[in-house]
Amino acid sequence: MAAFILDGKKIANDIRAEVASEIRTLTAAGVRPGLAVILVGNNPASEIYVRGKVKTSEELGIYSEKLTPPPTISTEALLKIVADLNRRDEIDGILVQLPLPAQVDSKRVLMAVDPAKDVDGFHPMNVGFLSTQRPGLVPCTPAGIMEILRRSNIPIAGREAVVVGRSDIVGKPTAMLLLNANATVTVCHSKTRDLPAVCRRADILIAAIGRAGMITRDFVKPGATVIDVGMNKVTDAAEFNSLFAGDRKREDIFRTSGSTLIGDLHPQVAEVAGAITPVPGGVGPLTIAMLMANTVKAAKMRRGSRVPELSKA
Ligand code: GUN
């Protein structure tokens, strides 16, 4: 039987509606959440992501600012921009879009963001809060993955979870969230021996590698839930054919646009898994929804009890 498709777009829309309602309550109480996004250079993927972040902020009633310093900016100059945003009371969230140009010391810049405004959850203090189960700001994509699992009623406690990829942005924080939710967690990477065998242990498999179609059906235990965090553009016709030959819809997209977006899962995983997230329309929409939720959370946390008690987040 074909895998159940976990509809990330629908889940993200539900979260957006909940966040929009919180924003209305906050704004009525005189607190309009504000988000500043810093985009350096012209990485096409970053430009698309940032456009989505700013657009969604506006749709939900968050005040937003996009800062685009020149691609030649120095670490010191970027630190000054961050320091100014840290000081401004109307800015609740600061997001520095990654990657930064090579001349910039990214770790210093991320460390300079006020942890209370760190809506990406990348500051070492928030990383520490996550690993010690204290309240804080949690990275958006991992938080979104947990929302997909929870809102789809996929049990986590006591289950085997395998995370493929150990990035600071996705793999590591996702592993920590799954561990905090009482899964038995294995983190795999390029040096893992017999990756397919380790992945086959998973009740919940998280693919966050960044290689088109790398997770094939023999990595997947029948009935497992598989979350695809990959976003890979396929432009090569031979590669396309090896993945999608016979898929009319994809063939049409590829023929007209010359490319198609594919995750880390091979299409045949859908024949084995119990449930999968599609690409596009799976994890992607959750990342922005959780950024909005984090901005509201930061606005509330920074003001402590000075805002009305809201439902959650
Ligand atoms: N680049 C790719 N993903 C992300 C993300 O989640 N946040 C930021 N700031 N940059 C990214």
- Please count the residues of the chain: 313
232 Cα–ligand 1 center, Å: 15
As given in the structure block, the two tokens for residue 298 are 């930061």
pLDDT the model gives residue 308: 56
Give yes or no: 133 in active site: no
Q: Whose CA is nearest to atom 2 of ligand 1?
A: 98
3-class SS letters over the chain: CCCEECCHHHHHHHHHHHHHHHHHHHHHCCCCCEEEEECCCCCHHHHHHHHHHHHHHHHHCCEEEEECCCCCCCHHHHHHHHHHHHHCCCCCEEEECCCCCCCCCHHHHHHHCCHHHCCCCCCHHHHHHHHCCCCCCCCHHHHHHHHHHHHCCCCCCCCEEEEECCCCCCHHHHHHHHHHCCCEEEEECCCCCCHHHHHCCCCEEEECCCCCCCECHHHCCCCCEEEECCCEEECCHHHHHHHHCCCHHHHHHHHHHCCEEECCECHHHHHCCCEECCCCCCCHHHHHHHHHHHHHHHHHHHHHHHCCCCCCC
Q: Which residue among the candidates 53, 172, 221, 300 is catalytic per the annotation?
A: 53
Residue 189, CB-side half-sphere exposure with 13 Å CA sphere: 9
124 alpha carbon to ligand 1 midpoint, in Å?
16
115: preceding bond cis by omega (within 30 degrees): no
Structural domains in the chain, CATH included, are 29-115 (3.40.50.10860), 140-285 (3.40.50.720)
Testing ligand 1's pocket by substitution, the residue of 39, 169, 283 carrying the most ligand atoms inside 8 A of its CB is: 169
* Residue 268 falls in the annotated catalytic set: no
66 classed as catalytic: no
- pLDDT one digit per residue (tens) for the chain, 313 residues: 799 999 999 999 999 999 999 999 999 999 999 999 999 999 989 999 999 999 999 999 999 999 999 999 999 999 999 999 999 999 999 999 999 999 999 999 999 999 999 999 999 999 999 999 999 999 999 999 999 999 999 999 999 999 999 999 999 999 999 999 999 999 999 999 999 999 999 999 999 999 999 999 999 999 999 999 999 999 999 999 999 999 999 999 999 999 999 999 999 999 999 999 999 999 999 999 999 999 999 999 998 856 655 444 4
Considering the entire predicted model, what is its pTM? 0.95
Sheet holding 93-96, edge to edge: 63-67, 34-38, 93-96
